[in-house]
Structure 1
Amino acid sequence: MSMTWQPMQPADLDAVMAIAAVVHVGFYERRDVFAERLALYPQGCWIARVEGGAGQAVGYAFMHPALLGQPPALDSFLEALDPQANCLYLHDVALLPAARSAGLGRALMQQLSMLMEKDGLAHAALVAVHGSAPYWRSRGFEVLADAPPALHAKLRSYDEHALYMIKPA
């Protein structure tokens, strides 16, 4: 079964919420938070679908420009993109179990790299949850060394094990 990333549309938000309920138990974000990300930076919002047939949604990803070391708190609005943004923040990625090992992670990293280059951003960043840091390390991300106390406080909005990770362009 072949799967691919496609640009997200507002009509995909129901699928996003259904996937989030399965993949991100304990990390709830309101639909309006996802809708805002889609409205602010649609080129960074992707839906993964099974190719052919009904095109069932099996995953999603939200990325947007941000300031390095300053991720948004979980379930918070941005209101606007920061004009001083210097990194591409991978806000959320979720794949249903059936979609894992289908090459979607590799393809998403290509999308991330293309957006970083297009927007002139020197780093990518994310918050690793669910013990996902080893996966992100395999994709070139490392935990930000000497993170400021304010970042540690913000990470607690995710959970006590959340890690802020960065990757150079």
Structure 2
Amino acid sequence: MQETLFHLRPAQAADLPAILAVQRQCYLPSMNEDGATWAGRLAAAADFVWVGEVAGKVGAYLATYPSHLGKVTPLGGAFALAADADCLYLHDLAVAPAAAGRGLGARLVAGALAAARQHGWRHAALVCVQDAYAFWQGQGFSAPATLAPAAQAALASYPGPARYMTRQLD
């Protein structure tokens, strides 16, 4: 029997310290979102935040929520769940360096996209930061040609190059 390398599960409030630790390992300090913001997200979108465990410890997370195509959540912004969503917004995916190379990120994304399809949503969207562009392209996301001014302003809240990317769900 082959050993399980990792376990995916819904995030819980008790995971908050581990989520914040993974965030600190993966992002520039200017991109770290505080504990209060994260606690609000876990409370608002409990069904849409997942963690990946390696050897029983959180080594990755994915925070998403139901939204509208073309809406960009600014860095540090609260999750405003759309009752009439047409899109799953993937706000934050992070895999700790010690957990990298196991496929955690791709598996978390695949699970989230499967959940979006079950809800009948036709799109997924995200803001790509740092050096993740090739990863997101590999997951089927691409950058749209234009964004509305409000979305462009929210995108500008992210330091460094940031791109809004979308994917149609089959």
Structure 1 and Structure 2 fold alike (TM over 0.5) = yes
SS at match of 1:94: strand
SS at match of 2:50: strand
Q: Which residue of 2 aligns with 1:96?
A: 96
Deviations 1:116-169 (A, max 9, x none): 112111101010000211110011000022222322221110124100000110
Alpha carbons 1:8, 1:47 under 8 Å: kept:
yes
Alignment: residue pair count: 165
Q: Which residue of 2 aligns with 1:152?
A: 152
Whole-Å separation in 2 of the counterparts to 1:29 and 1:47: 17
Q: Which residue of 1 aligns with 2:86?
A: 86
Answering whether residue 47 of structure 2 is matched by residue 47 of structure 1, we say no
List alignment gaps of at least 5 residues for structure 2. Answer: none
SS at match of 1:159: coil
Deviation at 1:76, TM superposition (A): 1.4
Alpha carbons 1:3, 1:99 under 8 Å: kept:
no
Q: Which residue of 2 aligns with 1:164?
A: 164
Deviations 1:25-71 (A, max 9, x none): 220212122222222221211111114xxx12111110101111112
Deviation at 1:114, TM superposition (A): 1.6
4+ aligned runs moved over 4 Å, structure 1: none
Q: Which residue of 1 aligns with 2:71?
A: 70
Whole-Å separation in 2 of the counterparts to 1:77 and 1:122: 23
Q: Which residue of 2 aligns with 1:11?
A: 14
List alignment gaps of at least 5 residues for structure 1. Answer: none
Q: Which amino acid aligns with 1:36?
A: G
Q: Which residue of 2 aligns with 1:28?
A: 32
Alpha carbons 1:29, 1:75 under 8 Å: kept:
yes
Instruction: Point out the more displaced range, 99-108 or 63-72.
Output: 99-108
Alpha carbons 2:19, 2:61 under 8 Å: kept:
yes
Identity %: 35
Alpha carbons 2:68, 2:82 under 8 Å: kept:
yes
Whole-Å separation in 1 of the counterparts to 2:168 and 2:90: 13
